[in-house]
């Protein structure tokens, strides 16, 4: 039975997802427009297009999921029906985590200044590696999602089997084996992008902080645009890392069914899972002038006819 708190949280999550759809749509449109007509796509645009498109789809799906939960709860959460949306949610969540991690790795390789030979090797070859990185992410996400839900479904079948047909100790052993396989698959699907994101973000923050301290020591007292750009980049990376970790924890809680269905804990996770990708999308827009220009152009074209008609009305009155 849905409580008033659950209804409130689902409504907030829908609003957050709608804002995220708008933000990711802006990023996707701006990145795609710069790639249309070009034979080779820049690696940054390839990552951002993959990330924004996956988040656009996952937040659209979460909006539909929340609406189905509100209006068709009894039908939607039956075993046979709920298996499909959980598979889709798992795949989209894994994909979003992978692409977000690759964006952090790309930032770190391109911006950070390290002299290690492996780092230099990556910097020279990152453009050729990006398509393979993205393809591998799709395959890993698909495999992990199918395996995860298959294992979860097997555990559910064992738990609902009649006692006359299932030995209690055998069921416990099967459940432990299934849980171990589930943990292994989850670590392969979620743990690796989390490690990549944290390590690359920490390295990038360290590199930017070192450069910022040097600029502050050499500052002449006037406003330095380079110093402000470095401080803005540090804030962006820290914000992304914070939002990424929260999103990772919430996805883990939902996939492992840590909280009971429609409990306060699960609803808080749903709200945070909708808020974190939305927040990161607007951080990307805020930190990149290319993404800021598209809303300004849309706003300008939207207001131009209004201003023109207002001017004509004013002249006619005169």
Q: 192: Cβ–Cβ under 8 A, 6 or more apart, which residues? A: 101
Q: HEC profile for 35-97? A: HCCCCCCCHHHHHHHHHHHHHHHHHHHHHHHHHHHHHCHHHHCCHHHHHHHHHHHHHHHHHHH
Distance CA 294, CA 290 (A): 7
Distance CA 234, CA 240 (A): 10
Domain limits, the chain: 4-160+169-301
What averages of pLDDT result for each successive group of 10 residues across the chain (318 residues)? 85 93 89 77 88 92 87 66 76 89 89 80 87 88 73 49 43 47 57 88 86 73 62 83 91 82 88 92 82 64 50 38
At 272 the pLDDT is: 93
The 10s digit of each residue's pLDDT in 89-101 is: 888 888 899 999 9
Fold (topology level) of 4-160+169-301: Rhopdopsin 7-helix transmembrane proteins (1.20.1070)
At 220 the pLDDT is: 56
Distance CA 246, CA 256 (A): 16
Instruction: Locate 232 and state its tokens.
Output: 């803005």
At 167 the pLDDT is: 44
Q: What pTM value is reported for the model?
A: 0.79
């Amino acid at each position: 039975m849905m409580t008033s708190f659950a209804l409130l949280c689902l409504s907030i999550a829908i609003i957050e997802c709608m804002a995220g759809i708008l933000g990711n749509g802006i990023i996707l449109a701006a990145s795609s427009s710069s790639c249309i007509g070009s034979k080779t796509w820049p690696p940054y645009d390839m990552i951002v297009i993959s990330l924004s498109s996956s988040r656009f789809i996952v937040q659209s799906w979460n909006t539909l999921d929340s609406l189905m939960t509100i209006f068709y709860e009894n039908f939607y959460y039956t075993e046979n029906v709920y298996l499909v949306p959980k598979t889709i949610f798992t795949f989209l969540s894994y994909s979003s985590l992978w692409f977000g991690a690759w964006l952090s790795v790309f930032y770190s390789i391109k911006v950070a200044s390290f002299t290690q030979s492996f780092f230099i090797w990556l910097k020279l070859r990152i453009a050729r590696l990006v398509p393979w990185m993205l393809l591998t992410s799709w395959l890993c996400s698909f495999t992990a999602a199918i395996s995860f839900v298959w294992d979860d479904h097997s555990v559910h079948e064992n738990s609902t089997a009649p006692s006359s047909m299932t030995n209690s100790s055998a069921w416990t052993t099967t459940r432990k084996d299934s849980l171990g396989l589930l943990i292994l698959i989850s670590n392969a699907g979620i743990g690796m992008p989390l490690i990549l994101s944290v390590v690359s973000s920490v390295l990038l923050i360290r590199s930017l902080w070192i450069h910022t301290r040097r600029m502050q020591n050499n500052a002449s007292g006037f406003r330095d645009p380079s110093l402000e750009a470095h401080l803005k980049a540090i804030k962006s990376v820290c914000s992304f890392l914070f939002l990424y970790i929260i999103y990772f924890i919430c996805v883990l809680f939902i996939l492992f069914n840590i909280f009971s269905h429609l409990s306060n804990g699960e609803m808080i996770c749903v709200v945070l899972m909708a808020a974190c990708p939305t927040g990161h999308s607007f951080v990307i827009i805020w930190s990149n002038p290319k993404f800021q220009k598209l809303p300004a152009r849309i706003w300008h074209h939207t207001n131009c006819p209004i201003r023109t008609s207002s001017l004509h009305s004013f002249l006619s009155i005169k």
